[in-house]
Amino acid sequence: MIPAQFDYTRANTLDEALTLLAQNEDAKILAGGHSLIPAMKLRLATPSLLIDIGRIKDLSYIREGNGQIRIGAMTTHYQIESSDLLKSICPLLPDCASHIGDVQVRNKGTIGGSVAHSDPGGDWPAAIVALDAEMIAVSKNGERSIKADDFFVDLLTTALAPNEILREIRVNKPSGRTGQAYVKMHHPASGFAVVGVAANLGFDDSGKCESARIGITGVSSKAYRATAVESALRGKHLDHGAIEEALAHDDDAVEANGDLFASADYRRNMAMVYTGRAIAAAVERAR
* Contacting positions for ligand FAD (CB under 6 A): 28-36, 73, 100-101, 105, 109-110, 112-114, 116-117, 119, 122-124, 160, 165-166, 191-192
Please enumerate in sequence order all residues whose Cβ is within 8 A of that of 277, keeping only pairs 6 or more positions apart, or say none: 183, 197
Residue 188 has what DSSP assignment?
T
Q: How far is the CB of 45 from ligand FAD (least distance, A)?
A: 7
Least distance to ligand FAD, CB of residue 73, Å:
4
Nearer Cβ to ligand FAD (68/190)? 190
CB of 191 to ligand FAD, least distance (A): 4
Q: Burial of 143 by CB count in 10 Å (0-12 exposed, 13-18 middle, 19+ buried)?
A: exposed
- 91 versus 202: smaller Cβ distance to ligand FAD: 91
Buried b (16+ CB within 10 A) or exposed e, 20-49: bbeebeebbbbbbbbbbeebbeeeebebeb
Of the chain, the end-to-end C-alpha distance in Å amounts to 51
Give the nearest distance from C-beta 51 to ligand FAD in angstroms.
8
- Residue nearer to ligand FAD on the CB measure, 65 or 188: 188
Q: Which is nearer to ligand FAD, 91 or 109 (CB)?
A: 109
Total residue count of the chain as it appears in this document: 287
Give the nearer residue to ligand FAD in terms of CB position, either 191 or 207.
191
Distance in Å, CB of 205 to ligand FAD, minimum: 36
- 3-state secondary structure at position 31: coil
- Measured from the CB atom, the residue of 112 and 276 that comes closer to ligand FAD is 112
Q: Answer yes or no: are the C-beta atoms of 75 and 166 closer than 8 Å.
A: no
**CA 236, CA 245: separation in Å to the nearest integer?**
11
The DSSP 8-state label assigned to residue 118 in this structure reads T
Cβ at position 82, least distance to ligand FAD in Å: 16
